[in-house]
Amino acid sequence: MELSVVVGDIAGQAVDAIVVNLFKGVDSPGGATGAVDGAIGGAISRLIAAGEIKGGRGEVTVIHTLGDAYPGFAPDRVIVAGLGSPEEFDLDGVRSVSAVVARRLRSLNVDSAATIVHGAGIGGLDAGLCAEALAEGAILGSYRFDKYRTSSKPSFDETKPKTLALVEQDATKISALEAGVARGQVFASASVAARDMVSEPANVLHPTRLAEIANEIATEGGVDIEILERADCEALGMGAYVGVALGSHQPPKFIHMTYEGDPGNPDNNLWIVGKGITFDSGGISLKAGANMGAMKGDMSGGAAAIAAMQGIAALKPTLNVHVVCAATENMPGGGAQRPGDVVIAMGGKSIEVDNTDAEGRLTLADAIGFARSKGAKRVVDIATLTGAIIVALGSGHSGAFSNDDELVGQVIAAGAKRGEPVWRMPLDPITKKQNKSDIADLKNTGGRAAGSIAAAHFIGEFAGDTPWVHLDIAATNMGRSVHDWEPDGATGVPTRTLIQLALDLGS
């Protein structure tokens, strides 16, 4: 979809469809919607009076004007998008409406469309931010992963609408709208990149391919990248990470990407650490067969981290950002680690492997250890770590655990700006005891009770006193149905939050 910003009157656009909007409770449309209503003989007003158009959020009404039905009116269709209550309308509302409308335009087989900027008029929101949210919503809402479909492809053309113009009468707002659209495209494209990685099957996206994608993103963005091989990781003492990789025929790849936005101040840094288990069978502690295929998405944290670097390199915050992803499969096999084994993490901590299906925290232990050895001043790790977080929070929020009030507050604020909600969870001393081992410094599981908290405590052992936030995204990495700008499948969460965090810290 090609997005553009044009000066003009929405009713005068020579496109297949135009998009206007209406708040709930409005009986007589004004502004651009009122102008279009007048141009088509009051059709919108009549449909409001008849109760067909109510303005509810997510409501989309299509009025067929067939071009020549009204003199001087070129579009074949008018789309009236409901915005809901004006008191509750915000930038998330802009994203949501834009996503819903984009899917409807596609289903109508529309080639070209034009829209007013939702929220920038009577909604009273900042025009540039509205354009940014509109671009995000339109791109993310149109997303589908149909790469491997042949005979079962959908009946509609997935590339439509091919063009979407944001129309504004006030020429003084154009530069702000253009900047907003450009930023929105960066955020959305990064999220799409993460979605694509997570959606790929594990026989295609293995650790080597994930490293190749990271290298492609680094090359395009002009950032440095280093790929450590198994021998390199062994030499650094990454026994926890290497132990997870022992059962797979696929070689592990330790990915380290570096963006230097403040090279003269190396301590001004943020390390983003993503869990990169490209397939999780559970290892010797084998998972049940039902729904195991979804474990191709156990690298969602790594995908979000790598994709975030794409956006960070484009938007260039004044901050040094490092992305680390310790990529591997977790497979059973003659060489796989066993329950009861003891491994030594980078830095010397010994870990009793109580359950090989608690592998993500082992890889994160060494990834965070690597970050700290390189002078990390802030660490945010992202992982599909525990099913327990789904029980605790459902699918509405990612769970956050932290040893630093300021940093976790910044992460939560960044998520709120991008419509990727984050909820802080506790780290209590009682639950921490569940990770105590009789034969090692700690064990990698703490039992069923407070499973997400115990897992976070384990990772926190390796963060030490470095300001650190752990995001458990097991509930939010995959959508269960099409909703607003989220698809049925990989969501890309929290890619846009990570980009926003880097911008906030580097502003």
Query: Listing from the earlier edge strand, what are the strands of the sheet with 224-228?
Result: 224-228, 253-260, 320-330, 269-280, 379-383, 468-472, 398-402, 422-424
CB distance 53 to 45 below 8 Å: no
How are strands ordered across the β-sheet holding 442-443? 342-344, 350-352, 442-443
Strand partners, 489: 479
CA distances from 438 to 250, 363, 441 (A): 33, 22, 8
**Element (DSSP H or E) covering residue 389:** helix 388-393
CA distance 103 to 219: 33
Q: DSSP label at 153?
A: -
Give the C-alpha separation, 186 to 179, whole Å: 11
Give me 346's structure tokens: 């980078």
Q: How many CB atoms lie within 10 A of CB 350?
A: 16
**Consecutive H or E run containing 315:** helix 300-315
Just list the catalytic residues: 287, 361
DSSP code of 157?
A: -
